[in-house]
Amino acid sequence: MEVVRRYEGNPILTPEQVPYDCTAVYNPAAVKFDGRYILLFRVQRKDARSVLALAESEDGIRFTPREGFAMVPSQEEPFRTYEEYGIEDPRITRIDDTYFITYAAYSRFGCLVGIAKTQDFERFERVCLASEPDNRNAVLFPKRFGGLYARLDRPSYPGKPPSIWISFSPDLVHWGGSRCLLMPEEYRWDSFKVGPSVPPIETPEGWLCIYHGVFMTMNGAVYRQGVFMLDLEDPCKVLGRYEGWIMAPKEPYEFIGYVPNVVFCCGAVEEEDGTLKLYYGAADQCICLATARLEELVSLCISGGS
């Protein structure tokens, strides 16, 4: 059964459609704000450094890019040092009336988790650099647990497969209580590494988490999307993990691009009817849209089968 359905007009945003020079637009965070859909996406410039840009839509399908960039590497320390090679792969989480952006800060020292915030998508303020290298793919939970913020991320350690961890913080700056939640499984589609895709989605059954898994082939990496479920009250507890993938490269725009064989989701918008709009980067080249029923993804986590 196909639970994720691609929009037949994909891709919805390409490098040719934005008002600035670049080689790729991809990996968009997504949110509904003030009645409009907002994408905050990665733009790879011709010097190979990445910045973040915005696009808006009334229907979640046809997007108009804004002029200029929303966020560029900072010129203020300590961010300047650790963002010198670019800022990448944003995610957006609303907590109270503030929208927090987690992103990858890339430099000669490796990749760190950066956190920024906005209330209007006009002005963006950096909060902190929130990890040691090498760490990326951080997503914040939209609720606190015992007064603590929580996040999922993907730290990397020599000799260990990149896995999904959870951490907690009283202030978004100081993090601890870290635990490993999900590791790559041998001889599976996600056997090389796993990482969070979109911020956790609250459901009556638990926190639905969409993640990416990587399988290495003789022709390079293949990026797919999967799902797992965490307990509502204790997000350190994994309730279920679907053994199969929910999405894998199969269209020409997912096979051919800057990095072939990639579907990489960074944004999801839940509609009132239970539909999820999933926004993803295809082949590190363009931005695409797919939809899924929330209850179907939850059911996969509970059943666990492939």
Domain with residue 125: its CATH number is: 2.115.10.20
pLDDT of 306 higher than 60: no
What are the C-alpha distances in Å from 216 to residues 36, 190, 221, 223? 38, 9, 4, 9
Query: Cα 156 to chain center, whole Å?
Result: 17
Which residues are within 8 A (CB) of 204 and not within 5 positions of it... i.e. 6 or more apart?
none
Q: Distance (Å, rounded) from C-alpha 7 to C-alpha 62?
A: 11
- The DSSP secondary-structure symbol of 265 reads E
More confident residue, 159 or 97: 97
**Is residue 1 packed enough to be buried (19+ CB in 10 Å), middle (13-18) or exposed (0-12)?**
exposed
Across the range 255-271, mean pLDDT stands at: 97
- The pLDDT tens digits of the residues spanning 273-304 come to 999 999 999 999 999 999 999 999 999 999 86
Domain boundaries, position 143: 4-303
Confidence of residue 157 (pLDDT cuts 50, 70, 90): confident
- Structure confidence by residue, pLDDT tens digits, 98-114: 999 999 999 999 999 99
Total number of domains in the chain: 1
51 has pLDDT over 60: yes
Q: Which among 225, 176, 182, 234 has a CA at the least distance from the CA of 206?
A: 234
Average pLDDT, the chain: 97
How many alpha carbons fall within 13 Å on the CB side of residue 49? 16
Q: What is the band of 45 on the pLDDT scale with cuts at 50, 70, 90?
A: very high
In one letter, which amino acid is 8? E
> What is the model's pTM?
0.97
